[in-house]
Amino acid sequence: MVKLDITPVKALIDIPRHIRVCGLKAGTELSLHTETQRGQGIYWRSQAVFVADNEGVVDTSRDAPIRGDYQGVDGMGLIFSQVPDSPQSNVFPDDVTQHLITKIFVYQKETLLAQGEMIQILCTTETERIEVRDNGLVGTLFKPKAKKAYPAIIVLNGSGGGINEPRAALYAAHGYIAFALAYFKAPGLSDYISHTPLEYFVKGIDWLRTHYSPKDDFVALSGQSRGGELVLLLASLFPEKISAVIAFVPGAVVHSAQNAADPKLGREGYAWLLEGKPIPHVWENNKTATWAPFDEGEPPHRHELAIKTALQDSEAVARARIRVEDCRCPILLISAEDDGAWPSQWYSQMVMDTLAQHHYPYIYRWSDHAEAGHTIVFPYLPTTQIVHTHPVSKRLSTQGGNMYANAKANQQAWADVVMFLRDCTNIC
């Protein structure tokens, strides 16, 4: 009898699964098909063909498919190679409290031999989800239900705006109070990043400390893309407020509003304000900057090419540089070699060099990923959507990387984040 084993069947999303088919005849050619409903009526699917070994077994952690949607040996290849029925679909469920259920079917030609499912969890039953609409703050807080103190993390999105509930839910599942704080493109807030006051984030940090009394007063910042720029900027300006920084694909300089700009103010307008005054950015009075490499040619466009023109003006870079040496906390940088949005690898090198030159006394680490693109999140998700329509500007652009490198980056970067946080909280 043919049997499909999936171990574990139900677990957190960052736990790899062992997928194994047994009870076959030696040399049997079979195909594995997957389908996962990730949005309202949208299914993500993959398939791969394998040959059973002499004992009649196919093990995706050991065996490479002979053809299909991915190549090489990877136990989770059937997940990262999934593509959606509809383009530009979200890899996350509409509601993070709902589990991602992947059905796996075993076929020999047209005959269904076995089937099963694996369940990926973002928000566990031991996690409390709390919507926050308080004193102008907009977000969602996730926390373990057990009545004790936990270290805290504020999660900030990038230029797409909104509330990053998936990452916050997963942080909470690992034993943190995680506050996914929106700062634009969310209910009651501006639709644009333009003229965002930095005091808003200080208010969010203070609110979190006042209401939830984090363990050892530990409040870290975790930001992606523009959020990665933002967490470094905040830590440099308000060092006494912040216990650690996790900067996914960050900038090392302050940028203009760019793709998330209010059209009335333009993409060269200011993103950040402090005490009502704009924070200078790299495009300001820049002698070499031009949008032409991004704007011209056939889509998908590569935003990073325009950013690199601005970085040729060393004086503008120096004026806009984030003074990371003023931070007083551990820092983790996560970068991508083939980042299509901006050169996060170059930016991370710039930050590391600055910290080394100033003999920075705190932990600082760099998790860099060869051939990967801008969209580094966590395992185990599909990594097939390289081209992306920006949620604000609606411009079609490439995030860079490839399916394999992005999947590897998701896995390793998240392992580095978990270790970094463990080390930071142990020294508090």
Name the active-site residue from 225, 243, 344, 397: 225
* 262 catalytically annotated: no
- C-alpha span between 2 and 4 (Å, rounded): 7
Helices (H), 241-341: 292-295, 303-310, 314-320
Query: What is the distance between the terminal CA atoms of the chain, rounded to a whole angstrom?
Result: 55
Neighbours of 198 (CB within 10 A): 18
Name the active-site residue from 63, 69, 338, 339: 339
Q: What is the DSSP letter of 263?
A: T
* 390 catalytically annotated: no
Quick one: tokens of 362? 């705190």
- C-alpha span between 246 and 266 (Å, rounded): 29
Name the active-site residue from 374, 388, 397, 416: 374
Contact assessment for residue 282 and residue 208, using Cβ atoms and an 8 Å cutoff = no
- C-alpha span between 371 and 135 (Å, rounded): 43
Q: What are phi and psi of 205, to 5 degrees?
A: -65, -45
**DSSP helix/strand/coil, 283:** coil
Nearest Cα to Cα of residue 104 among 14, 2, 238, 182: 2
Identify whether 171 is preceded by a cis peptide bond (ω within 30 of 0). no
**DSSP helix/strand/coil, 356:** helix
* 374 catalytically annotated: yes
Catalytic residues: 225, 339, 374
